[in-house]
Amino acid sequence: MMRSIFFILLFIAICVPCQDLFAQSASKPRYILAIHGGAGTILKKNMTVEMEKEYTNTLKLALSKGYEALKAGKSSVEAIAQTITILEDSPLFNAGKGAVFTNDGKNELDASIMDGANLKAGAVAGVTTIKNPIKAAIAVMQHSEHVMMVGAGAAQFAKSQHLEIVDPSYFWTKARWDALQKAKARDKERAELDHNANHTAIPEVYKDEKFGTVGCVALDRQGNLAAGTSTGGMTNKKFGRVGDAPIIGAGTYANNQSVAVSCTGWGEFFIRSVAAYQVSARMLYAKQSVEEAARGVIDEIGKMGGDGGLIALDKDGKLIMPFNTEGMYRGSVAEDGTISVEIYK
Amino acid sequence: MMRSIFFILLFIAICVPCQDLFAQSASKPRYILAIHGGAGTILKKNMTVEMEKEYTNTLKLALSKGYEALKAGKSSVEAIAQTITILEDSPLFNAGKGAVFTNDGKNELDASIMDGANLKAGAVAGVTTIKNPIKAAIAVMQHSEHVMMVGAGAAQFAKSQHLEIVDPSYFWTKARWDALQKAKARDKERAELDHNANHTAIPEVYKDEKFGTVGCVALDRQGNLAAGTSTGGMTNKKFGRVGDAPIIGAGTYANNQSVAVSCTGWGEFFIRSVAAYQVSARMLYAKQSVEEAARGVIDEIGKMGGDGGLIALDKDGKLIMPFNTEGMYRGSVAEDGTISVEIYK
């Protein structure tokens, strides 16, 4: 009698979570591509109707380009190249054309890619003349023995690969130039404050100078996952600072056994927590779902004092886009072509 | 009767592995510091008695410096700074003074550090005038808001921190210059072979151009773990290539909850497998021992076609130094001051 009750209870314990799982996977579509355009203090009250429309339209255009590529049977890496190129060519996002300025008035760009099929990866950092850094990262992955190239050497390689090289002035935009002047004025003020009061807290206004990155994750018809990230870095950055975007494991990671991840946010925290790869490690080693794993990483970054978000697409087409900021430009496209775009929490 | 036998068997199954564990921990000392000086095709038949003595003495000197620092109650980060400085100042190792040359006859150095107590980290890459890159990495960690700085910007920061700046000619050594000339001659030969035969396999002779890095892991009296790595990169490298040494998660990782790791080897594979952090992830998420985790990572890199080694010191002072090359310069010091140094398999 007792034994029968035990087996009935055991059966219930096993099957109830299973039912939940089936219910969930039946109701949710299978996603094949997702993008982000940066996370930060994005508030509806600060956004005009026109700006919101511009952002939304560009995100939709990028998603549809990626969808077309995947539908045509192209690889997830190729779909990411086409998607991120749209975002890099737009002045709206802090990547490519819209890159922010460093302290000495330059635009230094970083990008990376990882192919989940073979764990190959490519990255460039601190490049100033490559029109589309994501294409350079892909060329490093596909046509060199290396994973990461920086500075003038990376540009020389891109040139040898017949990628489009532009004059550094191509990256000049009025909005980003004005942002640098504002940041410098605040920096001066902060230096004076530091001198007078020896305070170490970073005022809220500076925080968003750290944000803005674009990224894409994709799952192609062959079942291959890939992830790519591109950024113009941090407004007013000094000392050749490099964030998480070009770091494999931190800003970008993809593995067919688990998940494709692209991150955006306060890069230093994403490097220290090896954020993108940590999502995969939690799934592979702790057997967490993509939801648990991705939220776990963002929670951990929050506890460390950092902020930002990530997009994670697992091998079964499950998508999660957690962030702990006010907003994150993000969008997704499902297998049936349904496109959705969101900005705020 | 059957139930009694079952419980007896269960008891044996639980206790036999436990006994093994106790036997092992009783017989093995608690390690507090370990170093590596690079892995590669290091064969006894290619080494003179004098050379072997020089290597051994320098490794012992580095270990004793680190031991003294820890014994005096200094932090694991401070012990690593002192230990790696000895290795960087020696022309024997591919780091600091002994850095190899790039294709265009320069010395470009990389280093990184991570503090397991707070998961803070620092790194510099592609620096050409900083005498001790490990000190610059520590300064980035302790005195900036950033984790990674590259190129001229990193040197500018190091200068602002009053670190020793040298003329690039300081890094010129005859042995490394001759190695570059040999590599260039072989490169030319290889290019011709490629052109004629379209072969893609890398001949054995080139492989060791990828190796040579120094690293240190330490556990201080406060129970804090740290890891540091420094390298001169890869002989004849082009296009601003960056390997795993300055990448947090790839070449270096430390976390008081798990382990401190420093890697050496074919950097591209260590980046793609996020090697240093993967050791920690296996321990934290898959509950593997430091032995299982570290060997698992080196095995995975071997399966991918890469080679090299790593040193891993866990929070309880357990040390493992696996590698899949012919040799790895390595050494350790236990809590009682016992120093040991090894070179071959």
Q: Longest Cα pair distance anywhere in chain B, in angstroms?
A: 82
CA distance B54 to B67: 20
Q: Which residues of A touch B241 (CB under 8 A)?
A: 146, 148-149, 153
Query: With contact defined as beta carbons under 8 Å apart, do B281 and A278 qualify?
Result: yes
Categorize the per-residue pLDDT at B116 as very low, low, confident or very high, splitting at 50, 70 and 90: very high
Give the pLDDT of residue A318.
98
Instruction: Closest CB to A121: pick one of B119, B151, B272.
Output: B272
CB proximity list for A138: less than 8 A, separation 6 or greater: A77, A81, A113, A122, A228
Q: Which of A247, A254, A233 is nearest to A34 (CA)?
A: A254
Parse chain A into domains and list their residue ranges: 32-117+203-344
CB proximity list for B267: less than 8 A, separation 6 or greater: A147, B210, B234, B243, B244, B245, B250, B251
Q: Which residues of A touch B151 (CB under 8 A)?
A: 126, 150-151, 240
Q: Does B151 touch chain A (CB under 8 A)?
A: yes
Distance from CA of B158 to the nearest CA of A (A): 9
What's the rounded mean pLDDT across residues B123-143?
Answer: 97
Instruction: Closest CB to B147: pick one of A126, A154, A272.
Output: A272
Q: Which of B245, B255, B307 is nearest to B278 (CA)?
A: B255
- Decide if pLDDT at B203 tops 60: no
Highest mean pLDDT among A13-27, A163-177, B186-200: A163-177
Most A-contacting residue of B270, B285, B287, B288 (CB-CB within 10 A), to test interface = B285
How crowded is residue B195: how many other Cβ atoms within 10 Å of its Cβ?
8
CA distance B89 to A300: 39
Give this complex's ipTM: 0.89
What rounded mean pLDDT belongs to chain A? 89
Give the pLDDT of residue A47.
82
- Decide if pLDDT at A172 tops 50: yes
Asked if A241 and B146 come within 8 Å (Cβ–Cβ), the reply is: yes
Asked if B150 and A273 come within 8 Å (Cβ–Cβ), the reply is: no
What's the rounded mean pLDDT across residues B112-132?
Answer: 98
Query: With contact defined as beta carbons under 8 Å apart, do B37 and B55 qualify?
Result: yes
Catalytic residue among A83, A85, A213, A264: A213
Which residues of B have a catalytic role annotated? Answer: 213
Instruction: Closest CB to B286: pick one of A125, A268, A285.
Output: A285
Distance from CA of A49 to the nearest CA of B (A): 36
Whether the predicted model's global pTM rises above the 0.95 cut: no
pLDDT > 70 fraction of chain B, expressed in percent and rounded = 86
CATH number 3.60.20.30 is the correct assignment for the domain at A32-117+203-344: yes
